[in-house]
């Protein structure tokens, strides 16, 4: 259902984030997948959700054997971001990514970037080995994924990802390089989902959607463990949203450390059962407040790592396209992320970090029992 919902609200990236709706979305939806190439579903042991989709294309030029996926993110980045609406091709590209061990999100967004760079004349046929890069070409999509995995020809360049490609191309190519901290964005548009955009920018590992899982409450209107409930305008910035990002980051950080599936958040009305389960598993009684505290501690520890490696507030950024370029049409028409700096101030306020540098304040690290890292960084 995700493709249809996010496309309908105008938060579905297409044509390398030039558009926020895709005309061919229905051809890629889960409903279409279920009628065509879906073979079975699967999940982890005893899982009631069974989120993984197993597919197989049995005929046509994109035949492939049974493989997991494609799921929502893959369908968006290898599909709409590259303007490919042929589901069999997306399934084949996904199969190649699985076999070669490369990420489907970064692959699709990097291909979309390369195609736009070609359209802008920043890449030529001399660079591509005579291959014409164009949006909407299913054969090209599959070919480029294979070339990325094998580091062949232009695939060797695309395999570097959008940040490095933009740096090598120059000519303001970073404007349309869709990443934060070098990690390509997944299938949720930041201009129509302001809190989601903030979560991409502040994620310690770069622009990903599950460090805070903001698309759930903001894009779908679904609460996570009872958090984020209530009517909200996805395109409207607010202090409440910025604070929600930090809160969910802390919770999701704990979930990762405890090896809990974040999808549990859709079925549990509160955080209390998580604290109870964790207490039983580790043998230490844990309150809900302690659960959030543990997550906050790890989040700040990761932040200290990034600071040591030279990252500052400027790296909690969004692509210039998202900041400066209004959405051209659809429900989010006219929206930008020009309020990102204000959202970042509110976020740092919640975190107890310095507004100018984005560094955790010394007193915050001491309160989290991280004094040794404050000392190491001279904070």
What is the tens place of the pLDDT at every residue in 236-246?
899 999 999 99
Which fold is adopted by the domain 2-180?
1.10.569
Structure tokens at 58: 């049995």
Tell me whether the CATH fold assigned to 2-180 matches the one assigned to 190-376.
no
> Residue 237: helix, strand or coil by DSSP?
coil
What are the tens digits of pLDDT across the range 143-169?
A: 999 999 999 999 999 999 999 999 999
CB-based contacts of 35: which residues, under 8 Å, 6+ apart? none
For residues 49-78, average pLDDT: 95
Helix (H) or strand (E) holding 157: helix 154-158
Question: Distances from the Cα of 187 to the Cαs of 39, 192, 264, 301, 379, in angstroms?
Answer: 24, 12, 21, 28, 37
* CA–CA distance, 177 with 117 (Å, rounded to integer): 10
Residue scoring higher pLDDT (224 or 82): 82
Q: What is the pLDDT of residue 263?
A: 86
For residue 326, how many other CB atoms are within 10 A of its CB?
Answer: 12
The model's pTM is: 0.96
Structure tokens at 248: 């969910």
CB-based contacts of 289: which residues, under 8 Å, 6+ apart? none
What are the tens digits of pLDDT across the range 196-235?
A: 999 999 999 999 999 999 998 888 888 888 887 554 678 8
The number of residues making up the chain comes to 379
Question: Distances from the Cα of 92 to the Cαs of 62, 78, 296, in angstroms?
Answer: 6, 10, 40
What rounded mean pLDDT belongs to the chain? 95
For residues 112-139, average pLDDT: 98
| Contacts within 8 Å (CB) and 24+ apart, 254-258 | 254/291, 254/292, 254/294, 254/295, 254/298, 255/295, 257/294, 257/295, 257/298
Sheet (strand 38-42) strand order: 38-42, 52-57, 64-68
pLDDT at 265 over 90: no
State in words which class domain 190-376 has: mainly alpha
**Residue 222 CB-density burial (10 A; 0-12 exposed, 13-18 middle, 19+ buried):** middle
Q: What is the pLDDT of residue 232?
A: 64
CB-based contacts of 50: which residues, under 8 Å, 6+ apart? 41, 42, 43
């Amino acid at each position: 259902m995700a493709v249809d919902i996010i496309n309908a609200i105008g938060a579905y990236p297409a044509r390398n984030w030039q558009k926020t709706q895709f005309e061919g979305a229905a051809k890629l939806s889960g409903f279409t997948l279920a009628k065509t190439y879906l073979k079975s579903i699967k999940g982890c042991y005893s899982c009631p959700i069974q989120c993984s989709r197993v597919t197989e294309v049995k005929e046509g030029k994109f035949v492939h054997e049974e493989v997991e996926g494609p799921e929502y993110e893959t369908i968006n980045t290898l599909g709409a971001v590259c303007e490919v609406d042929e589901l069999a091709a997306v399934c084949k590209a996904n199969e190649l990514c699985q076999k070669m061990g490369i990420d489907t999100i970064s692959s699709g967004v990097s291909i979309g970037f390369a195609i736009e760079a070609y359209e802008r004349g920043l890449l030529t046929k001399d660079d591509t080995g005579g291959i014409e890069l164009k949006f909407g070409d299913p054969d090209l999509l599959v070919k480029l994924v294979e070339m990325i995995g094998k580091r062949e020809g232009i695939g060797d360049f695309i395999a570097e990802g959008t940040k490095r490609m933009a740096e090598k191309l120059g000519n303001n190519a970073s404007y349309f390089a869709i990443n934060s901290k070098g990690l390509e964005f997944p299938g949720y548009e930041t201009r129509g989902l302001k809190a989601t955009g903030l979560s991409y920018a502040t994620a310690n590992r770069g622009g990903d959607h599950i460090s805070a899982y903001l698309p759930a409450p903001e894009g779908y209107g679904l609460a996570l463990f009872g958090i984020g409930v209530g009517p909200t305008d996805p395109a409207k910035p607010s202090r409440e949203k910025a604070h929600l990002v930090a809160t969910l980051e802390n919770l999701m950080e704990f979930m990762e450390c405890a090896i809990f599936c974040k999808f549990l958040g859709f079925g549990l009305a509160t955080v209390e059962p998580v604290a109870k389960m964790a207490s039983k598993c580790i043998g230490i009684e844990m309150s809900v407040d302690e659960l959030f505290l543990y997550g906050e501690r790890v989040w700040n520890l990761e932040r200290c790592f990034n600071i040591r490696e030279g990252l500052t507030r400027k790296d909690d950024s969004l692509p210039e396209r998202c900041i400066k370029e209004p959405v051209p049409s659809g429900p989010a028409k006219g929206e930008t992320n020009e309020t990102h700096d204000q959202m970042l101030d509110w976020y740092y306020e919640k975190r107890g970090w310095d507004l100018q540098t984005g560094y955790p304040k010394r007193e915050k690290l001491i309160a989290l029992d991280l004094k040794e890292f404050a000392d190491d960084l001279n904070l």
